[in-house]
Amino acid sequence: MNRIERLRDGLQEKGIDAALIFEPHNMYYMTGFTGGEGCAVITDNRAYLVTDFRYIEQAENESPDFEVVRVDNQANELSGFINSLSIKTAGFEEGFVSYSLYTDLKSKLEGIELVPLNGLIEDIRQVKDEEEIERISRAQSLAEEALNHVKGLIKPGITEKEVAIELEMYIKKKGSSSLSFETIVASGVRSSLPHGRASDKVIEDGDFVTIDFGIMWDRYCSDMTRTYIVGKVSDKQKEIYNVVLEAQMTALEGMKAGMTGVEADKLARDVIEKYGYGEYFGHGLGHGVGLQVHELPQVNKRGVKPLLENSVVTCEPGIYVPGLGGVRIEDLLVVKNNGILNLTHIDKKLEIL
């Protein structure tokens, strides 16, 4: 079933006559349109893309399955177009539509009730098709190539920022348009910051160095984390590293479709708790990845829904001890009915640089 058919099924289930799509990732997913402004209106038997003069030609090229509707002023005329359809309810993206757009539409729509889509499109986006998985894998393999490249540069004296800049240059030279989020390079005591952005801190002998980064390929994201140790290693560091690795391997072995995000999270959490580090694993096991680096499904304590086959998620347990440092190991994987397909191939046994 194609994406529009899946959306129509969802609308029917919720009793909504049409979906109004504004959010750029949802827009691209449903229509292929990459222009800056527009609204896709999908009813049970028609699919329109409403945009203005600047984007008409682009919309016609990028969204051949849609009837392109030209309005001169989107803010004023969109509601007029929606009023011309014989619908009674219109679903909107409650996490994206601003209060002002909502109130404006509400005041101009005649006899049409605005109702939240309740994440309908984001739910559909969880399950990836072959082409999406291919783009994510490509992003991931280029990210691994880049990480292998910068690993050779990590030694006492280089700053976190220098490492991050080198990564970014590498992926851009190889054709990636951008990072999927600001690269995290956190060394020494800073490694206990789960999201420590690369700073001017100089990497020193005995530091943990956590590198968490992702890149974009054909609009799809990758995400991975590796933690290294530079120079001399303490027994405590080794212990923490190996607990995180055991937790991650246990989760990777146990994860499969049908299990809830909570259950997947618990696979890793139980291991970390068993070794007495439970209080230092303060985030969820993972998250969905696709057009956005953080999307559904939830793979954490709030993830009460079962994981679906062909969703792409991360598995990233970590231990962060303030004053000492932290370790996170993150792989990117496809959830399958009988287990997982790991898209991450880079080594993860403790490496001392």
The footprint of Mn ion (CB under 5 A) covers: 223, 314
**Residue 149 token pair:** 């490249």
The DSSP line for 109-135 is -SS-EEEE-TTHHHHHHHB--HHHHHH
Cβ-based neighbours of 252, under 8 Å, separated by 6 or more: 315, 331, 333, 340, 342
Give just the sign of the alpha carbon dihedral 134, 135, 136, 142. Answer: positive
- Cβ proximity to Mn ion: between 182 and 204 the closer is 182
Question: First vs last Cα of the chain: how many Å apart?
Answer: 49
- Cβ proximity to Mn ion: between 7 and 312 the closer is 312
Query: Could you tell me the smallest distance in angstroms from the CB atom of residue 287 to Mn ion?
Result: 6
Residues 335 and 308: beta-carbon distance below 8 Å = yes
- Cβ proximity to Mn ion: between 26 and 314 the closer is 314
- Cβ proximity to Mn ion: between 140 and 314 the closer is 314
SS (H, E, C) 169-227: HHHHHCCCCCECCCCEEEEHHHHHCCCCECCCCECCCCCEEEEEECEEECCEECCEEEE
**Residue 170 token pair:** 């590498």
Query: Could you tell me the smallest distance in angstroms from the CB atom of residue 37 to Mn ion?
Result: 30
- Cβ proximity to Mn ion: between 144 and 223 the closer is 223
- Cβ proximity to Mn ion: between 68 and 224 the closer is 224
- Cβ proximity to Mn ion: between 26 and 180 the closer is 180
- Please state, in angstroms and rounded to a whole number, the distance separating the CA atoms of residues 333 and 313: 6
Q: Count how many Cα atoms sit within 13 Å of the Cα of residue 207 in the half-sphere of its side chain.
A: 23
Query: Could you tell me the smallest distance in angstroms from the CB atom of residue 222 to Mn ion?
Result: 10
Q: Give, as one character, the DSSP assignment of residue 65.
A: T
**Residue 282 token pair:** 């303060």
Query: Could you tell me the smallest distance in angstroms from the CB atom of residue 167 to Mn ion?
Result: 16
Query: Could you tell me the smallest distance in angstroms from the CB atom of residue 255 to Mn ion?
Result: 15
Query: Could you tell me the smallest distance in angstroms from the CB atom of residue 330 to Mn ion?
Result: 5
- Cβ proximity to Mn ion: between 10 and 284 the closer is 284
Query: Could you tell me the smallest distance in angstroms from the CB atom of residue 157 to Mn ion?
Result: 29
Q: Three-state DSSP class for 339?
A: strand
- Please state, in angstroms and rounded to a whole number, the distance separating the CA atoms of residues 53 and 284: 45
Query: Could you tell me the smallest distance in angstroms from the CB atom of residue 294 to Mn ion?
Result: 7
If one counts every other C-beta atom within 10 angstroms of the C-beta of residue 246, the result is: 16
